[in-house]
Amino acid sequence: MKKIMVVVMGGTGLVGQQFVRLLDGHPYFELAAITASGRSAGRSYGQAMPWAVGGDIPERAARLEVLDTSLETVMSRAPDIVFSALPAAAAEGIEPALRERGVRVFSNAGCRRQDADVPVLIPEINPGHLELARRQQARYGGFIVTNSNCSTSGLALVLKPLEKFGLREVTVTTFQSISGAGRRGLASFDIAGNVIPWIKNEEEKMERESRKILGELTADGIRPASFPVSATCCRVPVREGHLMSVSVRFANGAGAADVAEALAAFRGVPQGLGLPTAPEQPIIVRPEEDRPQPALDAWAGRPERARGMAVSVGRIREKDGVLSLILLVHNTVRGAAGACVLGAELAAAEKLAG
């Protein structure tokens, strides 16, 4: 198979570094260029920032010169696919401009997630929403596919297998790691020995996006799922991995054992297709009383290429008609770069890219 040329925008940030790690030796994709802000442009990737995502910086990527992020520099590399790890303000202009030039954009930025023709793709949950990308392609030449906010990715993945019990109401409290605030967030947060009970726009994103992801595809876009979601989001002094306490009311009633079985048995289209970044088991149910923990479970998932792509769930309990559980998602892998790479693999398998 001829490799698909890709560019990573915002490649020096935490999500961008995860993209570069995941693209190293990827069987479908070839990294043609990395862009960042003017602060990093002109330097070699290896010199542009501290490598912060574990392991060694991939050798070939380390030698690439970081480019400025502009339509001209990106198009000069003639990419089929652009992976975007830009902040929303920087993504807003360039992503639609790339789409108009026929590029397939897979983005982490939050700015287009609520556009009627833009899917918020979680390949195991709503592969059919890629139909919206086809509709964009017919209109613009290219398309934008987004992934969800990082906490939503874990929550929605766990809600999908529970739909069959009739989701009536979902309440979630998050304990989110500092890497969710980006590379500079790691250094500057006044978080040691502290918990900050607010994260800008996070609760609204979780409430809106989960219902769009689990919504139904119609001729006009996505009709959101009808159950209400209430979120409370906190920043905690943890390096990576977002932990969540989730309570669900079901219309049909379901016990802890039914829920554990449904979660552990869940498989999606990426598993059926054997996509390279698909975890063999997307949801891992932990039987221990004190798991999952970010320090032990953030990198869950097999094979090696899918580490960090599985969501871990534990402490499944039912009391007075309320089902409670704890879940953990790797925010910069399943919640960001890994989700985009898996989405692009699905698009390639469905002949939408490449």
Ligand X SMILES: NC(=O)c1ccc[n+]([C@@H]2O[C@H](COP(=O)([O-])OP(=O)(O)OC[C@H]3O[C@@H](n4cnc5c(N)ncnc54)[C@H](OP(=O)(O)O)[C@@H]3O)[C@@H](O)[C@H]2O)c1
Residue 331: DSSP 8-state: T
**Smallest separation (angstroms) from ligand X to the CB of 147:** 7
CB of 68 to ligand X, least distance (A): 8
Q: Which of residues 115-174 bind ligand X (CB under 6 A)?
A: 150
Q: Does 243 bind ligand X (CB under 6 A)?
A: no
Catalytic residue, chosen from 26, 111, 129, 242, is 242
Other beta carbons within 10 angstroms of residue 324's beta carbon come to: 16
Closest C-alpha to 128, from 109, 145, 148: 145
**Of 9, 15, 64, which Cα lies nearest the Cα of 42?**
64
Which residue is listed with tokens 């770069």?
A: 337
Report yes or no: 136 and 142 within 8 Å, Cβ to Cβ. yes
Among positions 62, 88, 97, 191, the unique one binding ligand X when judged by CB under 6 A: 88
Q: Considering only residues 277-336, where is the footprint of ligand X by CB under 6 A?
A: 331-332, 335-336
Among 7, 16, 269, 349, binds ligand X (CB under 6 A): 16
Q: Is the Cβ of residue 53 or residue 262 nearer to ligand X in the bound state?
A: 53
φ, ψ (nearest 5 deg) of residue 132: -65, -35
18: nearest Cα among 344, 349, 307: 307
The one segment of 95-103, 132-140, 175-183, 290-298 that binds ligand X by CB under 6 A: 175-183
User: Of 7, 14, 103, 346, which one interacts with ligand X (CB under 6 A)?
Assistant: 14
Smallest separation (angstroms) from ligand X to the CB of 337? 8
Residues in the interface with ligand X (CB under 6 A) total 31
129 has catalytic annotation: no
Interface pick for ligand X out of 4, 6, 7, 12 (rule CB under 6 A) = 12
Query: Which residues, 6 or more positions from 219, have their beta carbon under 8 angstroms from its beta carbon?
Result: none
Q: Which residues of 212-235 are buried (b: 16+ CB within 10 A; e: fewer)?
A: bbbbeeeeebbeebebebebebeb
Q: Which stretch binds ligand X (CB under 6 A): 105-113, 125-133, 220-228, 307-315?
A: 105-113
Separation between Cα atoms, residue 6 and residue 262, nearest integer Å: 37
Member of 7, 61, 82, 90 binding ligand X (CB under 6 A): 90
Q: Which of residues 56-85 bind ligand X (CB under 6 A)?
A: 69, 85
Active-site annotation holds for 234: no
Specify which residues 171 forms β-bridges with: 230, 247
Using CB under 6 A, pick the residue from 79, 123, 142, 180 that binds ligand X. 180
The string of DSSP letters for 246-275 reads: EEEEESS---HHHHHHHHHH---HHHHHT-
Report in angstroms the alpha-carbon separations of 9 from 13, 35, 142, 149: 9, 5, 17, 18
234 DSSP 8-state letter: E
Binding part of the chain for ligand X, among 11-19, 164-172, 197-205, 293-301 by CB under 6 A, reads 11-19
Nearest to 68 by CA among 43, 93, 97: 43
For ligand X, the closer of residues 163 and 299 by Cβ is 299
Among 7, 13, 209, 314, binds ligand X (CB under 6 A): 13
Question: Chain-centre distance of CA 277, in angstroms?
Answer: 12
- Shortest Cβ 293–ligand X spacing (Å): 18
Q: Quote the least distance from Cβ 84 to ligand X, whole Å.
A: 8
Q: Check residue 33 for interaction with ligand X (CB under 6 A).
A: no
Residues that bind ligand X (CB under 6 A): 10-16, 36-37, 39-40, 49, 69, 85-88, 90, 108-110, 150, 179-180, 182-184, 331-332, 335-336
By annotation, the residues acting in catalysis are: 150, 242
